[in-house]
Amino acid sequence: MASPNGTSYFLPAERAQGLANYPHARVVPVGQQIVYVSGTSSRRGDGTYAGCATDEATGKHTLDIRLQTEAVLSNIEGIIRGATGGACGMESVLSATVYLTDMKDYKGMNEEWNKVWPDKTKAPSRTCVQVAALPNERLNVEIQCQALWKQ
């Protein structure tokens, strides 16, 4: 196995390549368990949101895609480590779906993504879509994913 999240597959160089660090596909080894991680946001345990500043006078929220993405990925790592008793982390993520409220945030999200997975051969497969809204106006990114766990 090339990586804890399976083997990466890339189209030949003359074909379209990804815009960030992710393969075209990942191949799952036989006998692996899959951990399904629900859509995760930047919400903290105290109910506040990383990457969201609120103007008390106007109630307007200013959202920072980089801070939110960093927090989302950190929250996902905590979920995976907790669900597997510490046996797996972000290196085990097989596939992810990223939900953005505005594609103008795609570049900033990618910058944070690439910090977690600097080597695209070890990154999960990924889909990114723009959605009309997320469950709270303080959010501009949510990610759900699956991770492999060899018990």
Q: What is the pLDDT of residues 9-33, one digit of tens each?
A: 777 788 777 777 777 776 677 677 8
Angle at 99 (CA atoms; ends 112, 87), nearest 5 degrees: 60
Write down the pLDDT at residue 27.
67
In whole angstroms, how far apart are CA 129 and each of 92, 119, 122, 140?
22, 22, 22, 12
**CA-CA distance, 146 to 43, in Å (whole number)?**
20
Beta bridge partners of 40: 143
Q: What is the pLDDT of residues 68-101, one digit of tens each?
A: 999 999 999 999 999 888 999 999 999 999 999 9
What is the SS3 assignment for 43? strand
**CA-CA distance, 40 to 127, in Å (whole number)?**
15
Asked if the model's pLDDT at residue 2 lies above 70, the reply is no
Q: What is the pLDDT of residues 51-74, one digit of tens each?
A: 999 999 999 999 999 999 999 999
Angle at 145 (CA atoms; ends 45, 25), nearest 5 degrees: 155
Confidence (pTM): 0.84
Which residue segments constitute the domains of the chain, with CATH numbers given? 7-149 (3.30.1330.40)
**CA-CA distance, 15 to 17, in Å (whole number)?**
6
